[in-house]
Amino acid sequence: MVLNECYGFTKYGLICINLIFWAVGLASVVLAIWMLTDQTFMVSIAQDQQNFNSGLCILLVAGVLMLLVAFLGCCGAFRESQCMLIGFFSCLLVVIVAQVAAAAWLYANSDQLEKLITASITNTVKNEYGEIESRTQTVDAFQSGLHCCGATSPNDWAGSKYASHGSSQLGLTVTADASNVFSVPESCCKDSSTCQFNRTFKLGDTISPAIYNEGCTYKLIEALKSLSNVVLGVVVGVGILELLGLIFSLVLYCAIGSSDRYKS
């Protein structure tokens, strides 16, 4: 009786774990497809679009592999198939190794994160804002949502392609000093209704208090750090489930083999 209860617990426990794997895999696939097709997504601001798309393709493949793992685990447990269970164990082991390798790579390159974000946002501010619609929408979302302006400060807008256009739109007189004049987007304003004429500066001027004076790089890094505990908790939770999946699949595999030998 006790053995039967343990066998049933292991079998249905493995099924429940694989349902969670199925949900995680499906979410990864949907997220990757969304980010590949919707270029206004916030991280599409990455300077190297090829590397960005490569990362999304890896996420898509990982999601598909997780769906395959969940399928093998559920079917193997339902049908009590040793072949499917060993396939599930092997695929899940590959996923775990890949996750460990990815975590090690991220930890080793964590110091480069701030430099990468700064370079990406600066490039978009200088060359792409106002020229590429998706980049414009992304920067506006960053600045208004995070209450920031520019990559490191509002002065990053000086010399940008947008600055000259913005200055012209505000009706500035072109003088010998025109190259020192720049304007910031309306998304840099704390209150867009009151800072229409406070968005234009000369290099070295004091930034108006109506404009956000912190750079988006720092704000974004702070936002990512604030989410680090949540991400760590999710990773640990998924890792525990994966470890339980490995253990349950081995126990169920051995139990099925013992039962077959007893019947024969």
- pLDDT (tens, 9 = 90+) of the chain, 264 residues, equals 555 667 777 888 888 888 988 998 898 888 878 877 765 454 444 445 555 666 677 778 888 888 888 998 888 888 888 898 898 999 888 888 888 887 787 777 667 767 777 787 888 888 888 887 877 888 888 888 888 888 888 888 887 888 766 544 444 443 434 456 778 888 888 877 777 677 777 766 677 788 888 888 888 888 877 777 887 888 888 889 989 999 988 888 888 877 654 444
For residue 5, the model assigns a pLDDT of 64
Phi, psi of 209 (to 5 degrees): -65, -10
Q: What is the pTM of this model?
A: 0.63
For residue 166, the model assigns a pLDDT of 52
Domain boundaries, the chain: 2-110+228-263, 114-218
Nearest Cα to 201, choosing from 239, 139, 240, 159? 159
130, HSE (Cβ side, Cα atoms, 13 Å): 18
**246, 93 contact by CB (below 8 A):** yes
**141, 111 contact by CB (below 8 A):** no
**213, 155 contact by CB (below 8 A):** no
Nearest Cα to 24, choosing from 249, 246, 242? 242
For residue 260, the model assigns a pLDDT of 53
Name the fold adopted by 114-218.
Answer: Cd81 Antigen, Extracellular Domain; Chain: A (1.10.1450)
